Amino acid sequence: MSDVIADGKVVAFHYTLTDDDGTVIDTSSGKDPMLYLHGSNNIVPGLEKRLVGQSAGDSLQVDVPPSEGYGERQGPGAQAVPRSQMPEGVELQVGMPLQASGSDGQTVVLWVTELTDDTVFVDLNHPLAGKTLHFDVQIVAVRGSTAVEKQHGHPHGMDGSASH
């Protein structure tokens, strides 16, 4: 009997993620499958929930609303920051996350939304916030996790032996 997806299982799957218009946002096609440890918040909750009970060879389509994906958009939107205030040596790209210190000293993640010669626009919202996510998923493999993987809360490669 093959393993079915449940808490503590390591899952490898291929996926294509599209938006409401059918535009491909991301895909594992042509790459290694995505690996995650079920029950450890490695992937968006709406997708994780729907994979329970699936096993290797299964294909399914999953629609994830923003509330179970990257959240609803909030806040004032993108803010302009002078490039001179950015840390040196960072190759800025649209869509990349930046870590910053909030007013209370907490680490906040800001996403780069736009770049000009002297200004960087950043937003608190994940680029996929507010979007319904449409996943086309093929389950490649399901296995039990090792003690170390459970402890770390993520997989260590296809067979659990990878180090980092």
Q: Is 156 helix (H, G, I), strand (E, B) or coil?
A: coil
User: Given the complex with Zn ion, which of 43 and 110 has the nearer CB atom?
Assistant: 43
Q: Where does this chain touch Zn ion (CB under 5 A) — which range of 40-48, 76-84, 103-111, 145-153? A: 145-153
Q: Where does this chain touch Zn ion (CB under 5 A) — which range of 33-41, 100-108, 117-125, 147-155? A: 147-155
User: Given the complex with Zn ion, which of 150 and 152 has the nearer CB atom?
Assistant: 152
Q: Which position has the token pair 């096993």? A: 55
**CB 73 → Zn ion: shortest distance, Å?**
32
Binding to Zn ion by residue 150, rule CB under 5 A?
Answer: no
Q: Where does this chain touch Zn ion (CB under 5 A) — which range of 57-65, 102-110, 123-131, 144-152? A: 144-152
Exactly one of 73, 143, 150, 152 binds Zn ion (CB under 5 A); that residue is 152
In terms of C-beta distances under 8 Å and separation of at least 24 residues, what long-range contacts does 123-126 make, across chains too?
123/75, 123/77, 123/78, 123/79, 124/74, 124/75, 125/70, 125/71, 125/73, 125/74, 125/75, 126/70, 126/71
Residue 38: exposed, middle, or buried by beta-carbon count in 10 A (0-12, 13-18, 19+)? Answer: buried
| Residues at the contact surface with Zn ion, assessed by CB under 5 A | 152
